Structure 1
Amino acid sequence: MDQTTYWKNFRSEHPEVISDEHDAFTLGFEGDVKTNNELANLIKDGVKTGTSSALDLYALSGEKMPKAGDYIIILDGQQQPVCIILELEVKSYPLMEVSDQHAYNEGEGPRTLEYWRQVHIDFFKKEYAAYNKPFNDNIPVLCETFQVVYK
């Protein structure tokens, strides 16, 4: 189903949502279909209730920075809608100050801070390299918490 139809179906079931403003994205690296699908399904299943991104890279990528109250269509690796989330909280922290609770909310692997750091440091290093930007352990990380409102 295309994103427009998916959003219209959501709106017809949720008339309290008065705005048509929303975003759509895939989690993980574009083209990594296996990971894109895994992350989308973790969200749809309610296991993954948080995510994080490199704050510095929003200005370089032109991507819209999320904020509390935003609705986002989560896409799988084939760019198909999987669910819609509502952003509950969006805050920035230095990488090494991201909390145990946020690592748990991300719902990946053993859900520990140690695992979160291992995976995300690797991910952020690759993202920064793609923009020819130097990476360090104090980069600002945008930590989002959300809930699934439609699937």
Structure 2
Amino acid sequence: MNIASFDDLLSAARAQPLPQRLLFVFAGIELPDDATPEERAAFEQGQGGALVPQMCVDKSPDELASFDQLKQEAATFGQPWGMVFAAAMSGAPGKALTSADADEPLQKMVEAIRQGRIQAYIPFDPQGRPVQIG
């Protein structure tokens, strides 16, 4: 399935035959201290930078009506972010996943993003649009 918007992600999760749990990691985009002058110039133009996980949360698709709801909840933590990474995990037939089930996968996701291993996740910008990285 092609995910062209955050709503597509929610629809896909709701359409799955097994219960889903959505994982989200909000990341800031910062300029590393050892950046070259070229990297600094590109960063000033909105290019490059390093992803720094700021906060994370998990939700069932039924707990989340829209990207705006997720964005409003994120704002209550007071952390600035430039991108949110999304992933999904499946439960078993008739058994919905809980936040406790998502704890370890969510922490692994945070660590993967910290290390720059982001290919398994769908990044969205602050307007809920998918971002093409690389």
TM-score tier after normalising by the smaller chain length:
under 0.3
TM-score norm. by structure 2 comes to: 0.27
Q: Which has the higher contact order (CA 8 A, sep 6+)?
A: 2
TM-score normalised by structure 1 residue count? 0.25
